[in-house]
Structure 1
Amino acid sequence: MLLLLALHALLLTAPSHAEQVMVAVAANFTAPMQKITAEFERASGHKVLLSFGATGKLFAQIVNGAPFEILLAADEQIPAQLEKDGYAVNGSRFTYATGRLALWSAQARKVDNPGDVLHQGAFTHLALANPKTAPYGAAAIEVMTKLGVLASAHEKIVQGENVAQTYQFAASGNADLAFVALSQVWKYGRISAGSAWIVPSNMHQAIRQDAVLLERGRDNVAAGALLAYLKGNAARAIIRSYGYAL
């Protein structure tokens, strides 16, 4: 009798229509999305397949027929464009996080708080994401322009395809400095390793990161459930723990 009751309870709590959803995710959101996905799959029974990359490249893949059902972008412009062009469901777009930019070095005490190392020029290579396809790269260019160091740093700049590759350049020592997403170097409320300057948010356009339901996911139960989960307290707590603003 107890076994029958336990089986009945399991059937009541298990999702009746577990599905799979394919999600394109901006590279800066890799770590938090992996954690959110694990919690979501455990709570819902749905399966999430993640693909990470620069937002501009993900956009190109979507318009060329890639089978993504959700996009988590690193900006607000591309999701809006996808809605306008009919690739995304109108009214489904929302901001899931606001990104923070950081100038980071794997070396301790290399970067001071105001980022004076940029003025001093005491570095060999400075990595940043391709500003044409990655919003964090565009923000980095904006910051250096405001600081008046873009011209002097120009020959030292090394471009990564996305902010994940940019971080790897600095983490491996191939670049002494890198403009990265704060989420990549933030853990337990502080910089996890090396040294960093957290760039004031008023030094560049706000990096509002929007999510949107793509037309391919319109009737996918898992897609709708995941977007709803991203708006909930559990996901928001994870997002905040990685240094994003909400």
Structure 2
Amino acid sequence: MKTRLSPLFASLLALGFATPLRAAEVQVAVAANFTAPMQKIAADFEKATGHQAKLAFGATGKFYAQIKNGAPFEMLLAADDETPAKLEKEGLAVSGSRFTYSIGQLALWSAKPGYVDARGEVLKQGAFDHLAIANPKLAPYGAAAVESLTRLGLLGSVEGKFVQGENIAQTYQFVSTGNAELGFVALSQIVENGKLKNGSAWIVPPGLHTPIRQDAVVLTRGKDNPAAAALARFLKSDAARTVIKSYGYAL
């Protein structure tokens, strides 16, 4: 009697995701905007391969400084494409291992239903006291927000109302707790399965800022770790891409 494999397991097996004889762990630094999808991907990754991805979430700029100072990360999922390229150039990442795993989308969001209109006109009206934004020096989503406001000709009028988060996760917290009436966040933080979870939002047109290409790279500490290589492959699989897309990222 033959045992039939499920289509998902069969495809993972074909891609080399069979459970290894000796499972390994990989230490992964993950951009804060990718928290929710990466938690789901890590769980799926462990089921498919037996390997574990140990995740740390934060600002890409801070991770860069930590990696330069010897932090034991073996893989980086950045919020931009510049940081992984820089690490590769500096010999701190495995040459040729860099790839784009998602393209982020910026959104103006309020926890209050009906507060943010579909065209972002609320920014021009200025009837708010606090506008949350991630530190543009550390967080690419913060830099994209500043670039968008500049192109709209609104930076000067709203800059004095900024409440600055260290990363996009803290920026989201400012808005969700009501400490800021609205703020620029990652679309992935406020949607799931293509639907807004709560509040009101305006998706910032991509033409207002440089594309938020998010690259991953295997760091030199992870070059001989089979779990790092397996995770890099898994992030390119249909299983992972389905999760990524469901959180509002472009591929």
When normalised by structure 1's length, the TM-score is 0.94
**1:163 — aligned with what?**
168
AA at the equivalent of 2:66: Q
State the SS of the aligned residue for 1:239. helix
Shift of 1:87: 0.2
Shift of 1:188: 2.5
**2:117 — aligned with what?**
112
Q: Give me the whole-angstrom Cα distance separating, in 2, the residues matched to 1:109 and 1:197.
A: 11
Gaps of 5+ in 2: 1-17
AA at the equivalent of 2:150: T
Count of aligned pairs: 234
Choose the corresponding residue for 2:93, options 70, 74, 88.
88
AA at the equivalent of 2:50: G
Q: Give me the whole-angstrom Cα distance separating, in 2, the residues matched to 1:179 and 1:58.
A: 21
**1:68 — aligned with what?**
73
**2:14 — aligned with what?**
none
Shift of 1:80: 0.2
Q: 1:14 to 1:119 in 2, by over 3 A?
A: closer
**1:234 — aligned with what?**
239
> What are the residue-to-residue correspondences of 1:72-151 with 2, within 5 Å?
72-151=77-156
Gaps of 5+ in 1: 1-12
**2:21 — aligned with what?**
16
What are the Cα deviations for residues 196-217 of structure 1, in whole angstroms up to 9, with x where unaligned?
0001111100000000000000
What are the Cα deviations for residues 161-194 of structure 1, in whole angstroms up to 9, with x where unaligned?
0000000000000000110000000122121100
Give aligned-pair identity as a percent: 65
**2:37 — aligned with what?**
32
**1:173 — aligned with what?**
178
> What are the residue-to-residue correspondences of 1:35-46 with 2, within 5 Å?
35-46=40-51
> What are the residue-to-residue correspondences of 1:219-230 with 2, within 5 Å?
219-230=224-235
**Alignment root-mean-square deviation, CA:** 0.7
Choose the corresponding residue for 2:219, options 214, 217, 220.
214
When normalised by structure 2's length, the TM-score is 0.92
Asked whether 1:195 is paired with 2:200, we answer yes
Q: Give me the whole-angstrom Cα distance separating, in 1, the residues matched to 2:235 and 2:52.
A: 15
Q: Give me the whole-angstrom Cα distance separating, in 1, the residues matched to 2:192 and 2:95.
A: 36
State the SS of the aligned residue for 1:71. strand
